Every structure is written in structure tokens, then in C-alpha cells.
Amino acid sequence: MPISRNRNSRRKHRPSKEVRCCDKCDKCADQPTGGEIVLKGRQTIRRERTKLWEFPVHFHCSIIGTCLDLDELRYLARKTTLPNKDQLTDYDLHRAFVGMVQEPGSVAKLVQKHIDRKYKRFVRQFTNLHGEDALAACWDEAVVSGKVAGPYWALLTHPELSDALLDKVYGEIHMMSHLAGASCRADMQELTALRARARQLEKQIVEDRAMAHRKAVEYNETIRKLQASSDRLARMEKELRETKARLEAFEKNRVFDQLQIQLENHADLLADAQMRAERAEANVEKWERLARESSERHLKGQVRVADLQSERDALETALEGLLASDCDACENRDTCDRHTDLGGRRVLYVGGIERQCTHFRALVERQNGEFIHHDGGVDDSRQRLGSILPRADVVVCPLDCVSHDAVRRVKHFCKYNDKHLVFLPRASLAAFTRGLNELALAA
């Protein structure tokens, strides 16, 4: 049943059945499931915006958690008489403010003033809107853009907010908190896996370097032995020449036979030395080949580590943007290096894994882009790829999860239509995030 809000009733109409609107705050235990949401206020038709303390208690958890981040809560706590404020955990701080804004005291007015000042642009925007259709349309635009905190506050306090629209807005905010938590956990798991893989590759590089050093030492020792063999060979050749000279001098004497024997012995020694030299040269070629292969593996490992580190940095930047709840209201958002702006470009993702596309779409839309997907020919037809390619401003394609025909068609189209084409090494959130950063830098 929809949640309704009756401005002409007081708290005495509190429903009997209760559920929690979140799994953290005990202050949310007064949420009705089948009755009405009753605002504490005047008995006449409201002409002014609803005050924070006029909401039922279960709304305060949603408002405090959505419209204020923890840094703002700690800043506001320093202006209150809250005891042990510096020792409070994040949850205790949240729960304390949820309790303190239920009555129109100094804390509730302080928080009301801070939120009004923070979201004054949205309050002015919604104040100029009249009628449920206009309010709903403006809210839907905020949901699509991902900037819901300011519109949520401006819409909740609007004097013309209907019960049906209140039920819709409250439910969507409630579900967003669950979906955001699940998405962040999945991203952190993938980031942890990437970091572990990077450490493994760094360890392999260290081992390869040590092996290459050992091979180099062995190679140098082999060269030294070869040089020594070469020196011995030179000495033997010199001795052979001297022997031939003596043979010419004594070839008519009786010692000729003895010299002939000596010559044959020297010839055998020379043949022996030549065989050892040939074996040594073969060993040199072997060690040189092993050294080249080790060097190639080392270079490939360095390139792989650089790619993983680049993907890790891109993913951490995207996660920082997703986890930072105050980015949407920041005045320096357009120049911040944590914020990637795609400038409204349409990003076509060809291929990949279907279950990842929900995260990719959310990431592109958060970065001011439009996401289009074609599975590369698994379920979508080849004709559909040809029809959606002209709609895209840029095309992203993971090489490990797409058909050869789709890659060929995408390359041909982008080449002759001057479209930006980015190939990803794998179908993963980290690689996709890195590709988006490259697109933003190339804009």
C-alpha cells in the first residue's frame, strides 16, 4: 500500500503496525506499512515548506543519511552540546542526530538551516514548480542524473507534495541505499583481486631478474673459459709453426721420424682443442638464447604490471567518485581530477559479459554519458549492430569477449566514419573504467 502524508492530522493518528526503513538506525522503528505518514503541523492547508522536525521520526534517518555526509555531521556536532562527540562512531553520530532533530530545538534548527543553505539551488528550483506532474518529472530527471540528495530534500519539504509521489520518492531513496552498498562491495572485491594479481606479478618479475642475473654470471664465466681456450689454441698454433720450422731443418736427419711423431701428437691436441672450442661456442649460443628469453619475459611482465597498475588507479579513482557523497554539491566538481566528464557522449559497448553491463551503464551515466550495449552477435543480430553504430560517439570493445565478425565490422565503421574506437584487453570493470578515463582525456 502507498505511504501517504496528511497535513491536516496530528501525531495521534500514528499507525499500529511498524517496520524499519533501514537496518542500521533504531530511530526508524516508527515507519508505518499500511497507514498514513502524518506530519506534525498546523490544521490548515500548508503554504510554506515542511520543517525538519515536522516529519515523522522514521523520515529523519533517510534525510540525515542522504542529505548530510559524515564530515558535515561532525562539523555540526561541534556546534552542539552533544557529550563525547569526538569519541562517537559514525553510526552513533548518525543515530544521535536522528534523535535530536525530532523536536524543534536548537539542533533541529541548526541542521534545517545547514541543509537549506547546502541545497538552496534545488529548493529554489522546486519552489517554482506546481502540480504533481511537474514535481515528478523533475524528480525523475534527478534520479537519471544520479544527483538525488538536493532534489530529495527540496521535494520532501515542498508544500504541494502528494501522498503518491511521497511514497514513490521515499521508496526509491530506500532502494538506492541498498543498491549502492551492493555495487561498492562488488567493486572492492574486484579491486582486491587486482591488487593481489599485481603483487604476484611483481614477485615473478623479481624472480625473473634474479634468474637473469644468474644466467648472466654463467654467461660471463663461459666467455672467460672460451677466451682461455682461445689463448691456448693460439699458443698451440705457435708451437705448431715452430715444429714445422724445426722439421724443415731436420727432415734429412735421423730425428725426422721423431719430429713426425711429435707433429701428429700436436695435430691431435689441436683437433681436441677445436672440438672443445666448438662445444663452448654452442654453449654460448644456448646461454645467449636463454638470456634473451628471460629478458623478453621480464619486459612482458613489466608491461603487464604497468597495465594492471593503470587499471587499478582508474578503478580507485572511479570508486572514490562513487563513494564521495559530497561530489554532486561541490563547487569545484568540473575541475576535480576525481571527476571524469564524458560530456554527454554516447558510449557503445560491443561484446562483453551481460551481467557487467548494469555497472557499466551506471558508471557512464554518472560520468555524464549515455550507455549503449550490443552483445557482439550472441543474442543481438548483426543487423542491429549496423543500426546502432551510427548513434554512438565512441565505441568500446573487449577483445577477450567478442566475435571476430563484430570486431571487423566495428573497425571498418569507425575507420571510415571518424569514430573514436577503444579496445580493452579484457571484459572487466577495471579495464572499462580505464577506457572511460582515456576517452575523457581525449575529449
Q: Sketch out the chain's domains with CATH numbers.
A: 4-183 (no CATH), 191-323 (1.10.287.1700), 340-442 (3.40.50.1980)
**What pLDDT is stored for residue 163 in this prediction?**
85
Check whether 29 has a pLDDT greater than 60. no
**What pLDDT is stored for residue 415 in this prediction?**
93
**What pLDDT is stored for residue 114 in this prediction?**
94
Check whether 371 has a pLDDT greater than 90. yes
**What pLDDT is stored for residue 38 in this prediction?**
45
**What pLDDT is stored for residue 361 in this prediction?**
94
**What pLDDT is stored for residue 180 in this prediction?**
61
Check whether 200 has a pLDDT greater than 60. yes
Other CB atoms within 10 A of residue 107 CB: 23
**What pLDDT is stored for residue 59 in this prediction?**
87
At 252, the pLDDT band (50, 70, 90 cuts) reads low
Q: Given the DSSP bridges, would you call strands 31-32 and 18-19 parallel, antiparallel or unpaired?
A: antiparallel
**Residue with the larger pLDDT of the pair 180 and 126:** 126
At 317, the pLDDT band (50, 70, 90 cuts) reads low
**What pLDDT is stored for residue 304 in this prediction?**
66
| Backbone conformation region of residue 31, classed left if phi is above 0, alpha if psi is from -120 to 50, else beta | beta
Residue 196 grid coordinates:
593481489
| CA nearest to 229, candidates 264, 285, 282, 272 | 272
Give me the torsion for CA of 243, 249, 255, 258, rounded to 10°. 20
Give me the torsion for CA of 410, 416, 417, 420, rounded to 10°. 60
Q: Which of 121-125, 179-183, 262-266 bottoms out in mean pLDDT, i.e. has the lowest?
A: 179-183
**What pLDDT is stored for residue 2 in this prediction?**
45
282: exposed, middle or buried (Cβ count in 10 Å: 0-12, 13-18, 19+) = exposed
**What pLDDT is stored for residue 316 in this prediction?**
52
Q: Which of 59-63, 187-191, 331-335 bottoms out in mean pLDDT, i.e. has the lowest?
A: 331-335
Highest mean pLDDT out of 12-26, 273-287, 351-365: 351-365
In 76-152 the beta strands, taken as DSSP E runs, fall at: none
**What pLDDT is stored for residue 186 in this prediction?**
58
At 343, the pLDDT band (50, 70, 90 cuts) reads confident
